[in-house]
Structure 1
Amino acid sequence: MRSSLLLASVVGLGLWGGIACTKTTSSGSSKASGTGAQLLSATEAAEARTNYVNYCGGCHGRDLETFVNRKWKHGESPEVLFKGIKHGYPEEGMPAFAATFTDQQITQLVSYIRGGITRQADAGAQETQGTVHRSEKLNFRLDTVATGLDVPWSMAFLPNSDMLITERSGTLYRLTQNRQLQKIDGAPEVLAQGQGGLLDVKLHPDFSKNNVLFLSYSAVKKEGGQTLSTTAIMRARLDGNSLREQKVIFEAQPYARTRHHYGSRLEFGPDGYLYFTMGDRGGTKVNPQNLGVHAGKTHRIKEDGSIPADNPFVGRADAMPSIYTFGNRNAQGMALNPATKELWLHEHGPKGGDEVNIVKKGHNYGWADVTYGIDYNGSKISDLKQKSGITDPIHVWVPSIAPSGMAFVTGDRYPGWKGSLLVGALSFKLLARLELNGDKVVREERLLQDVGRIRDVRMSPDGYVYIAVENPGIIYRLVPVK
């Protein structure tokens, strides 16, 4: 995910009721009171919106939707928000914008955000049930499968057609066939802060025989008076609505104080090994190119957590043996291409430069030596988009869509979509359909504009596409119609 939800930790549902034209000074600007919120003129509101969309919208939603009903970590006053934007919270993924905006621009941004939160909350959720959505190849409607969630991070389908859903706050749910949410006991303790929490869920390839599943999450520990976290993977056996025989089979090193860029999608390869992604944990210039740490990599392990002997860096004293690829920023989508039997993943770029990559053994994907994007505050990360020894992406999004979740369309329920790659977008709140010719992306169609921040995309065993939308958390099924 692109940066942490820092603004969500400092913005409150303020009493300021909206953005409006008001009495201005002789210079045309409305008067600011210190760092507090102010009423904005039409010109100031337009400038504030442009700055918000260009610098903040990628992480926090172009319409401020991630702010609604948040629990504010740092307080909700205009002064606290001003301080957060100006000086940042680096450990939470928020850069400082002191060199990007003037104090007056930050004050205007504070007012724009606070007013927008009020309007967004009043607007309510968009009604989508029953609407026919039209794409170039077919028409479909959205069937609401589950509600009452906050951030449903991942879905998995059980043999009896029940669904498992991870809620980022730390709860694992079973969604029954009659669409009842039931809590499953025994999930791991998580640090549900920033981008952390209970993340992906993946069934063992022989789940119908052994009931084994895998969970990725942000593990937490206390050390030296500090709260530290990392990406971890638990293996467990599902027994009714309880997890048994829990075992942590991977725990990334080192733990860190940051609260963002955990990854972490899980996928079994055709070789039977478990592949998973791990973000750079905010260590842009330190972790992705360093084989001595787990962060900023794709990993490959056996189902018990042991290391395959043919992993590319096995035997190197300076490398973590689980590493399969490196130079990755923060991949939150991974899927097996049914046509080629290769693993594909997408990863968040910074401000611009989201990528789709094909996972190749031992390859370096370049972060942060090369990038198509810049930092969130407008500063340059690298002058290079290509470099010798770096594997180029097969598709790039500029501006960023903040991709999360992906699935290849299989089966015959969606004529014209078969073989396409579906990618959810957090920032633009849409579903991207990528048409492929072999390993080339030949065109993109954007569907479900403004449906919400799509966190996961899955193909069910019965051939339907499901999407998980966050804030409010809703699971939809895409049903083709004539």
Structure 2
Amino acid sequence: MTSLAKLLVLVSLFSQFACSENDETVDLYALLQVEVLTTELSSPWGMVQLPDGALLITEKTGSARLWSRGRLSHPISRTPEAYVAGQGGLLDVVLHPEYEKNGWIYLSYAYGDRRKNATRLVRTRLSGLQFSTPEVLFTATRKNTAAHFGGRMTFLPDRTLLLTVGDGYSFKDQAQELSSTLGKIIRLNGDGSIPDDNPFVALESAKPEIYSLGHRNPQGIYFDPERKVVFSNEHGPKGGDEINIIESGKNYGWPKITYGVDYSGEVITPHSALPGLEQPLVDWTPSIAPSSIIVYYGQQFPEFRGHLLSTTLKYRELRLTQLSGTKVVNEVSLLTEWNERFRDLLVGSEGEIYLLTDSGKLMKVTRR
């Protein structure tokens, strides 16, 4: 398909949405216009917008490409070599908050081989279509499964970086062990060093990178600049997908508590709540398979302002979660008629929404 085989479609969706400001009912059907920019990506996983408006896109199959001026570039050279198997591969990409000064780009990916692999974080710079030699900043506890890598990233206002790390699927008990980084969200300085105020730095037996624990496979994380909180969504087992507000040192319970069960139907734990363990802001049972999350503050859709948007794989939708403060008041399913596994999203510089699908599409959503 040519680089600009575009498809303009009015979106059919759950069409009624109450705006929080005046409780006026808005017909979303009339708002959203979707443009398919390309179908030529290979299992795209993450993206970020560069200052010139180009999109830097990762492909789980191991390549990174630029979408610029209506064209998809050749693969960028010197992309770190990823372990591509199962859920593993090249994962997320973010820019340093001072990117225009220092040029740092952060990549997460699955590193290793079938016998021993891990979530790894590197930083690099981009010149044309070539990365500089990647600098390794962090490698998670190693495992021997090709699943539950986590891999999403977000920067905090103090220029520290949060990275999600999954539990490795077969190692769920390590999500509760401070001697392992599996099933954790970790926090690092931009150069990979450990922040002095991380919650477990004084505990000799703990990995000092750990920021929070008790996670299964978080694939969405986002710092909300207005509420000053971190939202994360994560995959539960069969049921028990979650949105959480992430705080330093908190334990989010997996696998001691969950609202889900094993894929076989067996009970993982009899508990959905225990003292000292955090409850999710949202429990999605049955599972929707959330894969990224943002809070919308763009100009094009004031109806979405301050609300959460999550891409989903199983439910094949963009899920809008309406908030009042940090309380959930409504949810709406968007873009279901596309029947796509939506992998990632970002809000562009003009408030437009970009979406990646597992089928290889880059989509752009604007106001009609």
Q: Same fold (TM over 0.5)?
A: yes
Output the CA distance in 2 between the equivalents of 1:449 and 1:166: 24
Match for residue 143 of structure 1 among 23, 26, 35: 35
SS in 1 for 2:200: coil
- Aligned partner letter, 1:462: E
Against the structure 1 CA distance between its residues 408 and 302, is the aligned structure 2 distance closer, same or farther, given a 3 Å change threshold? same
Aligned with residue 343 of structure 1, among 222, 227, 230:
230
Q: Deviations over 1:432-456 (max 9, x none)?
A: 0010011111110001114200000
- Where 1:363 maps in the other structure, the secondary structure is coil
Maintained 8 Å contact 2:164/2:184: yes
For 2:122 and 2:366, how far apart are their aligned partners in 1? 34
1:329-367 CA deviation, whole Å, 9 max, x = no partner? 100011111321211100000000100001101000000
User: After TM superposition, where is structure 1 displaced by more than 4 Å over at least 4 residues in a row?
Assistant: none
1:244 maps to a residue whose letter is: S
**Is it true that 1:306 corresponds to 2:193 in the alignment?**
yes
Q: Distance in 1 between matches of 2:220 and 2:307?
A: 15
Which residue does the alignment assign to 1:327?
A: 214
- What residue in structure 2 maps to residue 413 of structure 1? 300
Residue 8 of structure 2, aligned match among 130, 145, 155: 130
Q: Matches of 1:431 and 1:162 in 2, distance apart?
A: 23
SS at match of 1:288: helix
1:284 Cα offset (Å): 4.6
Q: Give, in whole Å, the separation in 2 of the partners of 1:301 and 1:132.
A: 42
CA contact (8 A) 2:220 2:292 kept: yes
CA deviations over 1:10-30 (Å, ceiling 9, x no partner): xxxxxxxxxxxxxxxxxxxxx
Q: Give the letter for the 2:9 counterpart.
A: T
Does the aligned pair in 1 maintain the 2:234–2:242 contact within 8 Å?
yes
Give CA deviations for 1:198-244 in whole Å, capped at 9, x if unaligned: 000001111112221000000015xxxx6321000011011111111
Corresponding residue number in structure 2 for 1:257: 144
Taking the TM superposition and a 5 Å limit, the aligned residue runs for 1:256-405 are 256-405=143-292
Secondary structure in structure 1 of the residue aligned to 2:101: helix
Q: CA deviation at 1:285?
A: 4.1
Which structure 2 residue ranges, 5 or more long, are not aligned? Answer: 17-25
Contact persistence 2:108–2:120 (CA under 8 A): yes
Which is further off, 284-293 or 313-322? 284-293
Q: 2:347 & 2:214 partners in 1: Cα distance?
A: 29
Answer 1 or 2: which has greater helix percent.
1
How far does the alpha carbon of each residue in 1:150-173 deviate from its partner, in whole angstroms, 9 at most, with x for none? 311001001111110000000011
Q: Normalising by the residue count of structure 2, what TM-score does the alignment of the two structures yield?
A: 0.92
The one-character-per-residue Cα deviations of 1:14-57 (angstroms, maximum 9, x if unpaired) are: xxxxxxxxxxxxxxxxxxxxxxxxxxxxxxxxxxxxxxxxxxxx
1:460 to 311, 333, 348: 348
The CA deviation at 1:286 is 2.1
| Aligned positions of 1:128-277 closer than 5 A | 129-134=7-12, 135-136=15-16, 137=26, 138=28, 139-221=31-113, 227-253=115-141, 255-277=142-164
Runs (5+) with no aligned partner, structure 1? 1-126
1:438-449 equivalences in 2 (<5 Å): 438-449=325-336
Partner amino acid for 2:8?
G
CA–CA distance in structure 1, aligned partners of residues 6 and 79 of structure 2: 32
Amino acid of the structure 2 residue aligned with 1:195? Q
The one-letter amino acid paired with 2:176 is Q
- Tell me how far 1:370 sits from its aligned partner: 0.2
Percent identity (aligned): 38
Give the number of aligned pairs. 349
SS at match of 2:176: coil
- Find the aligned partners of 1:285 and 1:422 in 2 and give their Cα distance: 27
Structure 1 or 2: more strand by fraction: 2
The answer on whether the counterparts of 1:189 and 1:220 sit within 8 Å (CA) in structure 2 is: no
Quick check: 1:200–1:265 contact (8 Å CA) kept in 2?
A: yes
Give the deviation of 1:311 after TM superposition.
0.3
Distance in 2, Cα, partners of 1:129 & 1:240? 29
The CA deviation at 1:174 is 1.0
Query: Is 2:322–2:331's contact at 8 Å kept on the other side of the alignment?
Result: yes
